[in-house]
Chain A
Amino acid sequence: MRAWIEKQRYIIDFTISSLLRRKVKNFGLLALYTLIVFILASTMFFTHSIKKEASLILKEAPEIIVQKLVAGRHDLFPVRDIETIRKIRGVARVEGRLWGYYFDSLVGANYTLLTPPIPDGGAETGRAATVEIEADDPLAPDASAPLFTFNGAALKPGSLIIGNGIARIRDIGKGDYLPFRAYDGMFMSLKVADALSSQSELVSADLMLITEDDFRKLFGIDRQYVTDVAVTVRNPSEVSTVASKIRQRLHDSRPIVRDEILRTYDSIFNWRGGMMIVIFSAAVLAFVIFAWDKASGLSAGERREIGILKAVGWETSDVIQMKFWEGALISLTAFFTGVILAYIHVFFTGSPVFEPALKGWSNLYPNFMLTPFINAEQLTTLFFLTVVPYTVATIVPTWRAATIDPDTAMRHTGE
């Protein structure tokens, strides 16, 4: 046993000295390999976290959102129809929502305007808020905080609360005024009462909370209408039944089930979706070329060295073991360095490499840090996609060289 351990030590020592003998080549290899793992891991971390973040947010979204359609397009929802939905068996709660977009030509950004949550207070007009997450939901511990908080600042008519993205892009803060051009061309100036918490920036960077009256005044929306309706269903397995009943009773409505939204997110950010596949395939292709180059052969010097080792009494298995350690050392170092760098890149520096391509196309980027989500399955996949093929690619030509007679290996290369 001691002899075996000693032998492994000798082989590992020789492998390390062998790696250091070809410093330039091996450091170049390591750098390239690390870069490929970095790109692959960054893409995986980024898309996985953003997907996870979106699903956490959507987990608390209403199970069904009902929109009214006119000529196939989204239109305002009549408040009177809320009662029709409420009467459907299985419906627990129906809430009208008021929200919309406002384009600020000064900075070229689109803001999301929303009337703030007033629990149990919107029954008369059929409007209430639905953006809070239940704090006791065991399924969403990470999302147990409200999606946005505004430190209890009171929202009075003539005032608004803005998201951090807006505060940044317009360089405004508490007490400043923000002018709006209303639907009729009149100017409305609203005073900034507060800014939303920066923790919720993914959702609230472009968000503005204004009162219902100001909202209706700004967009000219009659009190008989809301933007859409959020429906809560008692039994989750009845969601699709309730959705089809809504469609039957309100022919001009479009019920959107939460799972459909989740599926859409999933297909956008899944490995098959969009940017992910582009970056991923480019990196995988680079890796294949790199591994192929490695697999295609050994240099004359390496072949000669194998010949010498065999001639002086090394077994084929010793030589293969040495090359295995060599490949494993390089690929494990590259794998861990690449993954750690990708982790820092995505979760600590806000993925500057992917930000413009993957976060959207708005002028108003949310300045958010993704919550680190590490998926063991993804890391294992990455490991098997990189470390294993590379190590095999290193062993194959060695095995070919090591199985020929030492005499042939040495004769054909000379000194």
Chain B
Amino acid sequence: MIELVNVRKVFNAGNPSEFSALNSVNLTIAQNRVTVLKGPSGSGKTTLLSVIGCMSRPSAGRVHLNGREITSLPERFLTDIRRKTFGFIFQQPNLIKGISVLENVMLPAYPLGEKRSQLKKKAMQGLADLNIAGKSASKVEWLSGGEAQRASIVRALINDPAIIIADEPTAHLDTTLSYRFMEIIEKFKAEGKTVIITSHDPLVYEAAIVDRVVNLRDGRIEGGTA
């Protein structure tokens, strides 16, 4: 379970360009559920997602993960949590150019020092599950948008995280691929994973598998605590 208490995130603090992206956000996200953070551009969806996923620290407030307060943890521990607990699917695939799909997929597991043969087997299995095993040796710049998205999903799953975080995953996908993506999410849910998605795409937040939609506007949750 993830719990956010009075979370605030300010960018450029102390500068004339100071901007408050999140204001007193209180939110509880249940395990093994698909939660969608919905809202217009600039509403603070991505910022909230990055705070939940330990990608950035809140300026104020507390974040609890399975009852453990993680906001004040040193960077090393946060990284460890990020690596083992969260799998990230970004709006852009954010793959590293110049190296193969397989290497990109294996990247998050490098710091864990897993045996190469096992890691490769796991990565190939993940690619096969999403029907892109044939592209494993290709460089990422040769992939189509959908293939790159699927490669980034396999990468997000390589360390078998309990929570999947996806930031506007369908923003660059056509309708067919978007449906395909939601099918994959359904599979995650079936496997017992918690999924948090930001989106303002009706195809996502109106999907049947979505358990809960949280509306965000101007850095606040509509209706106060959610």
User: Assuming the A-B contacts A312-B88, A313-B159, A405-B55, are A5 and B111 also in contact, with contact meaning beta carbons closer than 8 angstroms in the complex?
Assistant: no
**Contact between A17 and B99 (Cβ–Cβ < 8 Å)?**
yes
Choose, from B74-82, B121-129, B182-190, the stretch at the interface: B74-82
Residues of A365-415 whose CB lies within 8 A of B:
403, 405-408, 410, 414-415
- Contact residues of A between 195 and 254, Cβ < 8 Å to B: none
Partner of A305, one of B57, B96, B112, B116: B96
B148 CB, min distance to chain A CBs, angstroms = 10
- Which of A316, A405, A414, A415 is close to B56, meaning CB atoms less than 8 Å apart? A405
**A11 close to chain B: CB less than 8 A:** yes
B136 at the A interface (CB under 8 A): no
| A2 is an interface residue with CB less than 8 A from chain B | yes
A132 to B92, CA, bound (A): 81
Given A407-B50, A407-B55, also A318-B111 (CB < 8 A): yes
Q: Is A3's CB under 8 angstroms from B94's CB? A: no
User: Measured between C-beta atoms, what is the minimum distance from A85 to chain B in Å?
Assistant: 80
Stretch at the interface among B60-68, B102-110, B194-202: B102-110
Chain B residues within an 8 Å CB radius of A315:
75-76, 79-80, 111
Q: Is A405's CB under 8 angstroms from B96's CB?
A: no
Distance, CA A250 to CA B28, complexed state (A): 105
Q: Residue A407 contacts which of B56, B107, B110, B114 (CB distance < 8 angstroms)?
A: B56
B223 contacts chain A at the CB level, 8 A cutoff: no
Judged by a CB distance under 8 angstroms, whether B83 is at the interface is: yes
Shortest distance from the beta carbon of B9 to any chain A beta carbon, whole Å: 10
Minimal Cβ-Cβ distance residue in A for B47: A407
B92→A415 contact, CB < 8 A = yes
A5, B88: Cβ atoms under 8 Å?
Answer: no
Residue among B47, B75, B80, B83 facing the most chain A CB atoms (10 A cut-off): B75
Name the interface residues of B129-151: CB closer than 8 Å to any CB of A. Answer: none
A 314-355 binary contact with B (CB < 8 Å = 1; else 0): 111110000000000000000000000000000000000000
Given A405-B56, A407-B50, A415-B94: A10 and B110 within 8 A (CB)? yes
Residue in chain B with minimal CB distance to A317: B76
Q: A405-B56, A406-B55 are in contact. Are A314 and B114 (CB under 8 A)?
A: no
Indicate if A6 sits at the interface (CB-CB under 8 A): yes
Given contacts A311-B82, A314-B110, A414-B92, 20 further A-B contacts (CB under 8 A): A3-B112, A4-B113, A6-B115, A7-B113, A10-B110, A14-B103, A14-B107, A14-B110, A17-B103, A21-B99, A308-B96, A310-B79, A311-B88, A313-B79, A314-B79, A318-B110, A406-B55, A407-B55, A407-B56, A410-B94
Q: Please list 20 pairs of residues, one from A and one from B, whose beta carbons are closer than 8 Å in the complex, sorted by A's number.
A: A7-B110, A9-B116, A10-B110, A10-B111, A17-B103, A21-B97, A308-B94, A311-B55, A312-B107, A313-B159, A314-B79, A314-B108, A315-B75, A315-B80, A405-B57, A406-B56, A407-B47, A407-B55, A410-B90, A410-B94
A-binding residues in B (CB < 8 A) = 47, 50, 55-57, 75-76, 79-80, 82-84, 88, 90, 92, 94-99, 103, 107-108, 110-116, 155, 159
